[in-house]
Amino acid sequence: MTAGREVIVAANWKMNTRPSDAGQLALEIAHRTAVDGVSRVICPPFVCLSAVREAVAGEGVGIGAQNVHDQLAGAYTGEVSAPMLVGLAEWVIVGHSERRRDFGETDDLIARKARRVLEAGLRPILCVGEQLIDRDAGRASEVVGGQLRGSLAGISAESAVAGGLVVAYEPVWAIGTGRTARGADAGAMADSIRQTIADVGWGEAANGVPVLYGGSVTSASIGEFLAEPSLDGALVGGASLKPEEMAAIVGRAGIVARERRAVASR
């Protein structure tokens, strides 16, 4: 267990909620997840960012965007740039598996987005993960390592560490398919992720990068993943729309945070 790494639970609401109901949901989640030592983040749709931010002001909850464009401004109808998010959000998800799958986002594009996020003083949650065919072929670590190397291209260890980079491991084959990943497999992948980051020139700084698990996380499964010392929290999808689920997930993360504080104080 690395005592110094931040424990994070990020809620990805995807294309759900409206400005009229997002604020109340966010506030209920905030009240039910007030746990010491856990960084809580809610990532609503773009149109709900302002409503959620206002609702949870003073509650200690971070706000995140679900995507960002790789350019600062221009003729990109329907897109949102990193500078536009300043004041609305502190975090940004980049490279989510659904963006890779449904919108053809490449590692090169994701690297440009991550650089823009860091330049704007926002914290990127960089998502990586393999397909079922990759895992069955024994190429999971190779594929995830390739995504990391491509998605971190042009980003220095200094800027990423200073900017609070977080990596989320999403085994794509375990998202909404009924199949489940095992905690030990996710923990091993987290170790592999940090090794890859170290190998691209980060050295010991890689050990401080938080790695979240993001494969259809629920209150029933979170314990298995947070029992792995190499995992530092979760990127929660569908369950993040249910306050009782988020309360249980963050509660379990709080146990991890207390254990890490105890280790650090010895």
Q: Which residues have a catalytic role annotated?
A: 96, 170
Helices (H), 18-156: 19-32, 49-55, 82-85, 97-103, 107-119, 132-136, 140-151
In this structure, is residue 145 part of a structural domain?
A: yes
CB 25 within 8 A of CB 17: yes
3-state secondary structure 233-246: EEEECHHHHCHHHH
Residues recorded for the chain: 266
pLDDT of residue 238: 95
Q: What is the C-alpha separation between 133 and 111, in angstroms, rounded?
A: 25
CB 33 within 8 A of CB 40: yes
Backbone angles phi, psi at 6, to 5 degrees: -70, 140
pLDDT of residue 4: 81
Q: Residue 161 sits in a domain of what CATH number?
A: 3.20.20.70
**HSE-up of residue 24 (Cα within 13 Å, Cβ side):** 4
In this structure, is residue 193 part of a structural domain?
A: yes
Q: Provide the domain count of the chain.
A: 1
pLDDT of residue 253: 98
pLDDT of residue 3: 59
User: Residue 16 has which token pair?
Assistant: 């759900």
In this structure, is residue 54 part of a structural domain?
A: yes
pLDDT of residue 80: 98
In this structure, is residue 259 part of a structural domain?
A: yes
In this structure, is residue 24 part of a structural domain?
A: yes
In this structure, is residue 151 part of a structural domain?
A: yes
DSSP designation for 258: H
In this structure, is residue 94 part of a structural domain?
A: no
CB 169 within 8 A of CB 210: no
DSSP designation for 176: S
In this structure, is residue 2 part of a structural domain?
A: no
Q: What is the C-alpha separation between 132 and 214, in angstroms, rounded?
A: 15
**HSE-up of residue 46 (Cα within 13 Å, Cβ side):** 11
In one-letter notation, the amino acid at residue 210 is P
**HSE-up of residue 230 (Cα within 13 Å, Cβ side):** 18
User: DSSP letter string over 118-167?
Assistant: HHTTPEEEEEE---HHHHHTT-HHHHHHHHHHHHTTT--HHHHHHTT-EE
Its domain, for residue 126, covers 7-89+100-265
What is the pLDDT tens value at each position of the chain, 266 positions in all?
465 899 999 999 999 999 999 999 999 999 999 999 999 999 999 999 999 999 999 999 999 999 999 999 999 999 999 999 999 999 999 999 999 999 999 999 999 999 999 999 999 999 999 999 999 999 999 999 999 999 999 999 999 999 999 999 999 988 877 777 899 999 999 999 999 999 999 999 999 999 999 988 999 999 999 999 999 999 999 999 999 999 999 999 999 999 998 988 88
